[in-house]
Amino acid sequence: MSLAIFRAMLLGLLRDRGALLMSFFLPAVFFVIMAEIFTATTGDSLNLKVAVLDEVESDASTRLLGALQDNGTLTMLPELGSSRDEVRAWVKSGVADIGLIIRADAEPLESAGGFGAAPLLVVVDPSRGVAEPMLTGQIRRAYFSSLPDVAMGNVVAELENQFLTLDDEQREEVDAGLIEMREDAAAGRDVGWSFEDLLARESVIGGESVNLVAYSAGAVAFMFLLFASVHGAVSLLEEEETGILDRVLAGPGGIGVLVNGKFLYVVGQGMVQVTVIFTVAWLVYGVDLPGHLGPWLVISLAASIACAGLAMLLATACATRRQAQTVANTVILVLSALGGSMVPRFLMPDVLKDLGWLTPNTWALEAYSGVFWRGESLLEVALPVALLAAAGILGWLAARMLAHRKAYGG
Protein backbone atom coordinates (compact mmCIF):
# COMPACT_ATOMS: atom_id res chain seq x y z
CA MET A 1 0.00 0.00 0.00
CA SER A 2 2.82 2.34 0.84
CA LEU A 3 4.40 1.53 -2.51
CA ALA A 4 1.17 2.54 -4.24
CA ILE A 5 1.40 5.96 -2.62
CA PHE A 6 5.08 6.12 -3.54
CA ARG A 7 4.19 5.35 -7.17
CA ALA A 8 1.42 7.96 -7.24
CA MET A 9 3.80 10.59 -5.85
CA LEU A 10 6.51 9.65 -8.31
CA LEU A 11 4.17 9.82 -11.30
CA GLY A 12 2.84 13.14 -10.04
CA LEU A 13 6.37 14.53 -9.93
CA LEU A 14 7.35 13.15 -13.32
CA ARG A 15 4.27 14.65 -14.95
CA ASP A 16 4.66 18.04 -13.30
CA ARG A 17 7.36 19.86 -15.20
CA GLY A 18 7.30 22.74 -12.75
CA ALA A 19 7.91 20.48 -9.80
CA LEU A 20 10.65 18.68 -11.70
CA LEU A 21 12.29 21.99 -12.45
CA MET A 22 12.09 23.03 -8.82
CA SER A 23 13.25 19.71 -7.48
CA PHE A 24 16.21 18.98 -9.68
CA PHE A 25 17.14 21.70 -12.14
CA LEU A 26 16.89 24.73 -9.87
CA PRO A 27 19.03 23.34 -7.06
CA ALA A 28 21.72 22.45 -9.60
CA VAL A 29 21.70 25.90 -11.18
CA PHE A 30 21.62 27.56 -7.81
CA PHE A 31 24.44 25.39 -6.55
CA VAL A 32 26.60 26.30 -9.54
CA ILE A 33 26.05 30.01 -8.94
CA MET A 34 26.73 29.83 -5.22
CA ALA A 35 29.70 27.51 -5.71
CA GLU A 36 31.20 29.95 -8.19
CA ILE A 37 30.72 32.78 -5.73
CA PHE A 38 32.12 30.96 -2.71
CA THR A 39 34.99 29.44 -4.65
CA ALA A 40 35.88 32.90 -5.78
CA THR A 41 35.52 34.27 -2.26
CA THR A 42 37.67 31.76 -0.48
CA GLY A 43 40.11 30.75 -3.17
CA ASP A 44 42.73 32.52 -5.18
CA SER A 45 40.38 33.27 -8.01
CA LEU A 46 38.87 36.35 -6.38
CA ASN A 47 40.47 38.98 -8.49
CA LEU A 48 40.60 42.39 -6.93
CA LYS A 49 40.70 45.31 -9.28
CA VAL A 50 43.15 47.78 -7.83
CA ALA A 51 43.40 51.38 -8.98
CA VAL A 52 47.04 52.38 -8.63
CA LEU A 53 48.79 55.71 -8.52
CA ASP A 54 52.56 55.77 -8.07
CA GLU A 55 53.58 59.32 -7.28
CA VAL A 56 57.13 58.35 -6.38
CA GLU A 57 58.17 56.05 -9.23
CA SER A 58 61.27 55.01 -7.27
CA ASP A 59 63.08 51.71 -7.64
CA ALA A 60 61.33 50.34 -4.53
CA SER A 61 57.83 51.47 -5.56
CA THR A 62 58.26 50.06 -9.04
CA ARG A 63 59.45 46.75 -7.61
CA LEU A 64 56.57 46.62 -5.14
CA LEU A 65 53.97 47.24 -7.82
CA GLY A 66 55.66 44.72 -10.09
CA ALA A 67 55.49 42.08 -7.35
CA LEU A 68 51.84 42.83 -6.71
CA GLN A 69 51.15 42.64 -10.42
CA ASP A 70 52.82 39.23 -10.65
CA ASN A 71 51.00 37.49 -7.81
CA GLY A 72 47.89 36.71 -9.83
CA THR A 73 45.19 37.61 -7.34
CA LEU A 74 45.18 41.28 -8.11
CA THR A 75 44.43 43.06 -11.32
CA MET A 76 46.34 46.28 -11.29
CA LEU A 77 44.26 48.56 -13.41
CA PRO A 78 46.28 50.53 -15.90
CA GLU A 79 47.41 53.87 -14.63
CA LEU A 80 44.13 55.66 -14.28
CA GLY A 81 45.36 59.16 -14.17
CA SER A 82 47.69 61.32 -12.33
CA SER A 83 45.63 62.41 -9.37
CA ARG A 84 44.48 60.92 -6.10
CA ASP A 85 40.97 62.20 -6.80
CA GLU A 86 40.81 60.05 -9.88
CA VAL A 87 41.74 56.98 -7.84
CA ARG A 88 39.08 57.88 -5.27
CA ALA A 89 36.50 58.36 -8.04
CA TRP A 90 37.23 54.96 -9.55
CA VAL A 91 36.88 53.25 -6.20
CA LYS A 92 33.72 55.16 -5.39
CA SER A 93 32.11 54.28 -8.68
CA GLY A 94 33.02 50.62 -8.29
CA VAL A 95 35.20 50.43 -11.39
CA ALA A 96 38.05 49.53 -9.02
CA ASP A 97 37.47 47.48 -5.89
CA ILE A 98 40.16 49.32 -3.98
CA GLY A 99 42.84 51.97 -4.57
CA LEU A 100 46.54 52.10 -3.77
CA ILE A 101 48.45 55.34 -3.81
CA ILE A 102 52.22 55.43 -3.24
CA ARG A 103 52.52 58.90 -1.86
CA ALA A 104 55.25 61.37 -2.64
CA ASP A 105 54.43 63.59 0.33
CA ALA A 106 55.13 60.86 2.88
CA GLU A 107 58.04 58.97 4.27
CA PRO A 108 59.97 57.11 1.61
CA LEU A 109 59.04 53.47 1.18
CA GLU A 110 62.65 52.53 1.89
CA SER A 111 62.83 54.22 5.28
CA ALA A 112 59.35 54.47 6.70
CA GLY A 113 59.60 54.53 10.43
CA GLY A 114 56.29 55.80 11.62
CA PHE A 115 57.53 59.34 12.16
CA GLY A 116 55.84 60.83 9.11
CA ALA A 117 52.94 60.01 6.84
CA ALA A 118 52.80 56.40 5.67
CA PRO A 119 53.98 56.00 2.08
CA LEU A 120 51.15 53.66 1.02
CA LEU A 121 47.61 54.98 1.06
CA VAL A 122 44.88 52.40 0.65
CA VAL A 123 41.61 53.86 -0.64
CA VAL A 124 38.66 51.71 0.36
CA ASP A 125 34.91 51.57 -0.11
CA PRO A 126 33.40 50.12 3.09
CA SER A 127 30.76 48.27 1.07
CA ARG A 128 33.61 46.15 -0.24
CA GLY A 129 35.25 45.78 3.12
CA VAL A 130 36.91 42.45 2.42
CA ALA A 131 39.07 44.07 -0.25
CA GLU A 132 41.17 45.90 2.31
CA PRO A 133 42.61 42.94 4.26
CA MET A 134 43.11 41.14 0.96
CA LEU A 135 45.13 43.96 -0.52
CA THR A 136 47.13 44.66 2.61
CA GLY A 137 47.89 40.97 2.89
CA GLN A 138 49.17 40.90 -0.64
CA ILE A 139 51.23 44.05 -0.03
CA ARG A 140 52.73 42.46 3.07
CA ARG A 141 53.65 39.34 1.12
CA ALA A 142 55.09 41.33 -1.76
CA TYR A 143 56.95 43.62 0.60
CA PHE A 144 58.75 40.92 2.52
CA SER A 145 59.28 38.48 -0.32
CA SER A 146 60.16 40.89 -3.09
CA LEU A 147 61.69 43.78 -1.23
CA PRO A 148 63.69 42.11 1.58
CA ASP A 149 66.49 44.63 1.25
CA VAL A 150 64.04 47.48 1.75
CA ALA A 151 62.43 45.75 4.72
CA MET A 152 65.81 45.01 6.34
CA GLY A 153 67.04 48.48 5.49
CA ASN A 154 64.14 49.85 7.44
CA VAL A 155 65.02 47.68 10.43
CA VAL A 156 68.66 48.72 10.32
CA ALA A 157 67.69 52.31 9.94
CA GLU A 158 65.41 51.85 12.89
CA LEU A 159 68.22 50.38 14.98
CA GLU A 160 70.59 53.08 13.90
CA ASN A 161 68.02 55.71 14.56
CA GLN A 162 67.11 54.55 18.00
CA PHE A 163 69.53 52.09 19.59
CA LEU A 164 73.09 52.19 18.22
CA THR A 165 74.25 55.26 20.13
CA LEU A 166 77.87 54.96 21.14
CA ASP A 167 78.81 58.37 22.36
CA ASP A 168 77.32 60.32 25.20
CA GLU A 169 75.41 62.58 23.01
CA GLN A 170 73.91 59.60 21.19
CA ARG A 171 73.23 57.93 24.57
CA GLU A 172 71.25 60.93 25.70
CA GLU A 173 69.27 60.79 22.51
CA VAL A 174 68.48 57.09 23.02
CA ASP A 175 67.46 57.78 26.58
CA ALA A 176 65.22 60.57 25.46
CA GLY A 177 63.83 58.32 22.73
CA LEU A 178 63.19 55.49 25.15
CA ILE A 179 61.49 57.82 27.59
CA GLU A 180 59.40 59.13 24.77
CA MET A 181 58.49 55.59 23.70
CA ARG A 182 57.60 54.68 27.26
CA GLU A 183 55.39 57.71 27.51
CA ASP A 184 53.79 56.85 24.18
CA ALA A 185 53.15 53.30 25.31
CA ALA A 186 51.75 54.49 28.63
CA ALA A 187 49.48 56.84 26.73
CA GLY A 188 48.30 53.97 24.48
CA ARG A 189 49.96 55.34 21.39
CA ASP A 190 51.64 53.05 18.87
CA VAL A 191 55.33 52.75 19.36
CA GLY A 192 58.19 51.43 17.42
CA TRP A 193 58.43 50.30 13.88
CA SER A 194 55.98 47.97 12.19
CA PHE A 195 54.76 47.08 8.71
CA GLU A 196 51.64 49.09 9.40
CA ASP A 197 53.77 52.23 9.39
CA LEU A 198 53.93 51.79 5.66
CA LEU A 199 50.17 51.91 5.31
CA ALA A 200 47.54 54.49 5.72
CA ARG A 201 43.86 54.04 5.04
CA GLU A 202 41.27 56.31 3.57
CA SER A 203 37.58 55.66 2.97
CA VAL A 204 35.83 57.14 -0.01
CA ILE A 205 32.71 57.57 2.10
CA GLY A 206 31.89 58.12 5.73
CA GLY A 207 29.73 56.19 8.19
CA GLU A 208 30.98 52.77 7.26
CA SER A 209 28.77 50.59 9.44
CA VAL A 210 25.69 52.37 8.21
CA ASN A 211 26.67 51.81 4.61
CA LEU A 212 26.71 48.07 5.04
CA VAL A 213 23.24 48.17 6.56
CA ALA A 214 22.07 50.28 3.66
CA TYR A 215 23.40 47.64 1.27
CA SER A 216 21.52 44.87 3.03
CA ALA A 217 18.35 46.99 3.23
CA GLY A 218 18.39 47.45 -0.53
CA ALA A 219 19.29 43.83 -1.19
CA VAL A 220 16.68 42.35 1.12
CA ALA A 221 14.01 44.84 0.10
CA PHE A 222 14.32 44.04 -3.58
CA MET A 223 14.30 40.28 -3.15
CA PHE A 224 11.20 40.36 -0.97
CA LEU A 225 9.66 42.91 -3.28
CA LEU A 226 9.93 40.30 -6.03
CA PHE A 227 8.38 37.58 -3.88
CA ALA A 228 5.53 39.78 -2.67
CA SER A 229 4.85 41.10 -6.16
CA VAL A 230 4.53 37.61 -7.56
CA HIS A 231 2.24 36.66 -4.70
CA GLY A 232 0.01 39.61 -5.55
CA ALA A 233 0.12 39.07 -9.29
CA VAL A 234 -0.74 35.37 -9.25
CA SER A 235 -4.11 36.21 -7.70
CA LEU A 236 -4.99 36.85 -11.34
CA LEU A 237 -4.73 33.09 -11.90
CA GLU A 238 -6.73 32.49 -8.76
CA GLU A 239 -9.47 34.66 -10.19
CA GLU A 240 -9.35 32.64 -13.38
CA GLU A 241 -9.88 29.46 -11.36
CA THR A 242 -12.74 30.90 -9.31
CA GLY A 243 -14.62 32.34 -12.30
CA ILE A 244 -14.15 35.98 -11.29
CA LEU A 245 -12.19 36.47 -14.48
CA ASP A 246 -15.14 35.19 -16.54
CA ARG A 247 -17.43 37.67 -14.84
CA VAL A 248 -15.08 40.59 -15.45
CA LEU A 249 -14.26 39.60 -19.02
CA ALA A 250 -17.92 39.73 -19.94
CA GLY A 251 -18.06 43.33 -18.72
CA PRO A 252 -17.08 46.51 -20.53
CA GLY A 253 -13.73 46.91 -18.79
CA GLY A 254 -12.46 43.52 -19.83
CA ILE A 255 -9.13 42.07 -18.86
CA GLY A 256 -7.43 45.49 -18.86
CA VAL A 257 -9.35 46.44 -15.71
CA LEU A 258 -7.96 43.47 -13.83
CA VAL A 259 -4.37 43.74 -15.04
CA ASN A 260 -4.19 47.48 -14.41
CA GLY A 261 -5.82 47.21 -11.00
CA LYS A 262 -3.47 44.49 -9.89
CA PHE A 263 -0.43 46.29 -11.28
CA LEU A 264 -1.29 49.40 -9.27
CA TYR A 265 -1.91 47.34 -6.16
CA VAL A 266 1.38 45.49 -6.44
CA VAL A 267 3.29 48.75 -6.99
CA GLY A 268 1.61 50.22 -3.88
CA GLN A 269 2.32 47.11 -1.87
CA GLY A 270 5.97 47.29 -2.95
CA MET A 271 6.28 50.90 -1.85
CA VAL A 272 4.92 50.04 1.59
CA GLN A 273 7.27 47.07 1.87
CA VAL A 274 10.38 49.08 0.93
CA THR A 275 9.28 51.85 3.28
CA VAL A 276 9.02 49.43 6.18
CA ILE A 277 12.49 47.96 5.54
CA PHE A 278 14.21 51.33 5.10
CA THR A 279 12.38 52.80 8.09
CA VAL A 280 13.79 50.02 10.24
CA ALA A 281 17.22 50.65 8.71
CA TRP A 282 16.84 54.32 9.58
CA LEU A 283 15.46 53.99 13.10
CA VAL A 284 17.53 51.02 14.23
CA TYR A 285 20.75 51.34 12.23
CA GLY A 286 20.87 55.03 11.45
CA VAL A 287 20.73 54.81 7.68
CA ASP A 288 20.17 58.39 6.58
CA LEU A 289 16.74 57.98 5.03
CA PRO A 290 15.50 61.52 5.74
CA GLY A 291 18.62 62.92 4.11
CA HIS A 292 17.96 61.03 0.89
CA LEU A 293 14.18 60.99 0.91
CA GLY A 294 13.61 62.34 -2.58
CA PRO A 295 15.99 60.03 -4.48
CA TRP A 296 14.96 57.10 -2.27
CA LEU A 297 11.33 57.68 -3.16
CA VAL A 298 12.08 57.72 -6.89
CA ILE A 299 14.31 54.63 -6.73
CA SER A 300 11.80 52.73 -4.61
CA LEU A 301 8.98 53.62 -6.96
CA ALA A 302 11.02 52.47 -9.94
CA ALA A 303 11.95 49.27 -8.11
CA SER A 304 8.32 48.62 -7.19
CA ILE A 305 7.24 49.24 -10.77
CA ALA A 306 9.92 46.84 -12.02
CA CYS A 307 8.84 44.08 -9.65
CA ALA A 308 5.15 44.62 -10.35
CA GLY A 309 5.64 44.58 -14.12
CA LEU A 310 7.77 41.46 -14.07
CA ALA A 311 5.41 39.70 -11.67
CA MET A 312 2.38 40.53 -13.81
CA LEU A 313 4.18 39.25 -16.88
CA LEU A 314 5.02 36.02 -15.12
CA ALA A 315 1.47 35.58 -13.85
CA THR A 316 -0.04 36.07 -17.29
CA ALA A 317 2.53 33.87 -19.01
CA CYS A 318 1.77 30.91 -16.76
CA ALA A 319 -1.28 28.70 -17.06
CA THR A 320 -1.85 27.89 -13.40
CA ARG A 321 -1.08 29.37 -10.03
CA ARG A 322 1.09 26.41 -9.14
CA GLN A 323 3.12 26.79 -12.31
CA ALA A 324 3.52 30.51 -11.69
CA GLN A 325 4.72 29.97 -8.13
CA THR A 326 7.21 27.37 -9.27
CA VAL A 327 8.61 29.49 -12.07
CA ALA A 328 8.65 32.55 -9.82
CA ASN A 329 10.65 30.81 -7.11
CA THR A 330 13.16 29.70 -9.71
CA VAL A 331 13.47 33.07 -11.37
CA ILE A 332 13.61 35.08 -8.15
CA LEU A 333 16.24 32.90 -6.51
CA VAL A 334 18.46 33.00 -9.59
CA LEU A 335 17.98 36.75 -10.10
CA SER A 336 18.69 37.40 -6.43
CA ALA A 337 21.80 35.24 -6.38
CA LEU A 338 23.17 36.81 -9.56
CA GLY A 339 21.98 40.30 -8.75
CA GLY A 340 23.63 40.65 -5.37
CA SER A 341 20.63 40.22 -3.08
CA MET A 342 22.15 37.19 -1.39
CA VAL A 343 25.89 37.69 -1.70
CA PRO A 344 27.48 41.08 -2.37
CA ARG A 345 28.28 41.45 -6.04
CA PHE A 346 31.80 42.43 -5.18
CA LEU A 347 32.51 38.88 -4.04
CA MET A 348 31.44 37.39 -7.35
CA PRO A 349 33.71 36.33 -10.16
CA ASP A 350 33.67 38.65 -13.15
CA VAL A 351 31.42 36.44 -15.26
CA LEU A 352 28.67 36.45 -12.65
CA LYS A 353 29.27 40.11 -11.94
CA ASP A 354 28.72 40.87 -15.61
CA LEU A 355 25.65 38.63 -15.73
CA GLY A 356 24.35 40.52 -12.74
CA TRP A 357 23.91 43.58 -14.89
CA LEU A 358 21.08 41.73 -16.61
CA THR A 359 19.11 41.54 -13.36
CA PRO A 360 16.85 44.21 -11.87
CA ASN A 361 18.36 43.39 -8.46
CA THR A 362 21.66 44.84 -9.61
CA TRP A 363 19.99 47.93 -11.04
CA ALA A 364 18.18 48.53 -7.75
CA LEU A 365 21.31 47.92 -5.68
CA GLU A 366 23.36 50.20 -7.90
CA ALA A 367 20.78 52.95 -7.55
CA TYR A 368 20.44 52.58 -3.78
CA SER A 369 24.19 52.28 -3.23
CA GLY A 370 24.82 55.26 -5.48
CA VAL A 371 22.59 57.44 -3.35
CA PHE A 372 23.22 56.04 0.13
CA TRP A 373 26.95 55.19 -0.01
CA ARG A 374 28.49 57.16 -2.76
CA GLY A 375 26.39 60.24 -2.10
CA GLU A 376 25.45 60.51 -5.74
CA SER A 377 22.59 62.57 -7.00
CA LEU A 378 19.50 61.11 -8.61
CA LEU A 379 20.84 62.17 -11.97
CA GLU A 380 23.96 60.10 -11.44
CA VAL A 381 21.91 56.95 -10.83
CA ALA A 382 19.46 57.77 -13.60
CA LEU A 383 20.49 54.80 -15.72
CA PRO A 384 19.65 52.00 -13.25
CA VAL A 385 16.49 53.84 -12.20
CA ALA A 386 15.43 54.20 -15.83
CA LEU A 387 16.18 50.52 -16.45
CA LEU A 388 14.00 49.54 -13.49
CA ALA A 389 11.10 51.71 -14.59
CA ALA A 390 11.41 50.62 -18.22
CA ALA A 391 11.51 46.94 -17.28
CA GLY A 392 8.42 47.37 -15.13
CA ILE A 393 6.44 49.24 -17.74
CA LEU A 394 7.45 46.82 -20.51
CA GLY A 395 6.49 43.92 -18.24
CA TRP A 396 3.12 45.49 -17.56
CA LEU A 397 2.45 46.16 -21.25
CA ALA A 398 3.50 42.63 -22.19
CA ALA A 399 1.29 41.26 -19.40
CA ARG A 400 -1.66 43.21 -20.77
CA MET A 401 -1.01 41.84 -24.24
CA LEU A 402 -0.63 38.26 -23.04
CA ALA A 403 -3.68 38.47 -20.81
CA HIS A 404 -5.73 39.88 -23.66
CA ARG A 405 -4.59 37.11 -25.95
CA LYS A 406 -5.43 34.47 -23.37
CA ALA A 407 -8.81 35.96 -22.58
CA TYR A 408 -10.02 36.83 -26.04
CA GLY A 409 -7.96 34.53 -28.22
CA GLY A 410 -5.70 37.14 -29.81
Partner 1 sequence: MTPASELSGDAFLLDLNGIRKHLGGRRVLDNVSLSVSPGELVVLLGPNGAGKTTLLGTACGRIAPDAGDARLSGGNPRRDVGVRQSLGFVPQQVALYPYLSVRENLEVFGRMMGVAKEALNARIEEALAWSGLEDRVGDRVDTLSGGMQRRLNIVASVLHKPTLVMLDEPTVGVDVNARERIHELLRRLRADGLGILLTTHDLLQATTLADRVVFLVAGQVRLEGAPDELIHQVFGEHKEITITLAELPGSDQHQRLADAGLSPVHDGRTWTGSVDHGYDGVADWNHRLADMNLHAAEIRVREPSLEGVFLRLTGEALVL
Single out the residue of 43, 78, 243, 290 in contact with partner 1 (rule: CB under 8 A).
Answer: 243
Query: 289 near 279, Cβ under 8 Å?
Result: yes
Single out the residue of 287, 315, 333, 407 in contact with partner 1 (rule: CB under 8 A).
Answer: 407
Least distance from C-beta 15 to partner 1, angstroms? Answer: 20
Q: Is 247 in the site for partner 1 (CB under 8 A)?
A: yes
Q: Is 321 in the site for partner 1 (CB under 8 A)?
A: no
Q: Is 248 in the site for partner 1 (CB under 8 A)?
A: yes
Q: Is 257 in the site for partner 1 (CB under 8 A)?
A: yes
Q: Is 186 in the site for partner 1 (CB under 8 A)?
A: no
List 48's β-bridge partners, or say none: 74
Amino acid at site 15: R
Least distance from C-beta 232 to partner 1, angstroms? Answer: 14
Q: Is 249 in the site for partner 1 (CB under 8 A)?
A: yes
Q: Is 89 in the site for partner 1 (CB under 8 A)?
A: no
- CA distance to 52, 124, 135, per residue, from 71 (Å): 15, 21, 11
Q: Is 236 in the site for partner 1 (CB under 8 A)?
A: no
Of 249 and 334, nearer to partner 1 (C-beta) is 249
Q: Is 253 in the site for partner 1 (CB under 8 A)?
A: yes
Single out the residue of 24, 38, 144, 408 in contact with partner 1 (rule: CB under 8 A).
Answer: 408
- CA distance to 62, 88, 99, 139, 202, per residue, from 85 (Å): 21, 5, 11, 22, 12
Of 175 and 241, nearer to partner 1 (C-beta) is 241
Q: Is 268 in the site for partner 1 (CB under 8 A)?
A: no
Q: Is 401 in the site for partner 1 (CB under 8 A)?
A: no
Least distance from C-beta 273 to partner 1, angstroms? Answer: 21
Q: Is 404 in the site for partner 1 (CB under 8 A)?
A: no
- Backbone φ, ψ for residue 190 (5° rounding): -65, 145
- CA distance to 59, 264, 325, per residue, from 404 (Å): 72, 18, 21
Least Cα distance to 145 among 63, 203, 206, 83 occurs for: 63
Single out the residue of 78, 188, 252, 290 in contact with partner 1 (rule: CB under 8 A).
Answer: 252
Contacts for 291-297: CB closer than 8 Å, 24+ residues apart: 292/371, 292/372, 294/378, 295/371, 295/377, 295/378, 295/381, 296/368, 296/371, 296/372
Single out the residue of 57, 79, 184, 246 in contact with partner 1 (rule: CB under 8 A).
Answer: 246
Q: Is 254 in the site for partner 1 (CB under 8 A)?
A: yes
# residues near partner 1 by CB under 8 A: 18
Least distance from C-beta 399 to partner 1, angstroms? Answer: 18
Single out the residue of 13, 244, 355, 382 in contact with partner 1 (rule: CB under 8 A).
Answer: 244
Of 116 and 256, nearer to partner 1 (C-beta) is 256
Q: Is 44 in the site for partner 1 (CB under 8 A)?
A: no
Q: Is 43 in the site for partner 1 (CB under 8 A)?
A: no
Q: Is 383 in the site for partner 1 (CB under 8 A)?
A: no
Of 216 and 235, nearer to partner 1 (C-beta) is 235
- Which residues, 6 or more positions from 209, have their beta carbon under 8 angstroms from its beta carbon? 126, 285
- CA distance to 43, 254, 311, per residue, from 271 (Å): 39, 27, 15
Judged by CB under 8 A, the stretch of 82-90, 240-248, 324-332, 358-366 that binds partner 1 is: 240-248
Give the Cα separation of 332 and 314 in Å (integer).
Answer: 11
Least distance from C-beta 280 to partner 1, angstroms? Answer: 28
Residues lying near partner 1 in the complex (CB under 8 A) are found at 241-244, 246-254, 257, 407-410
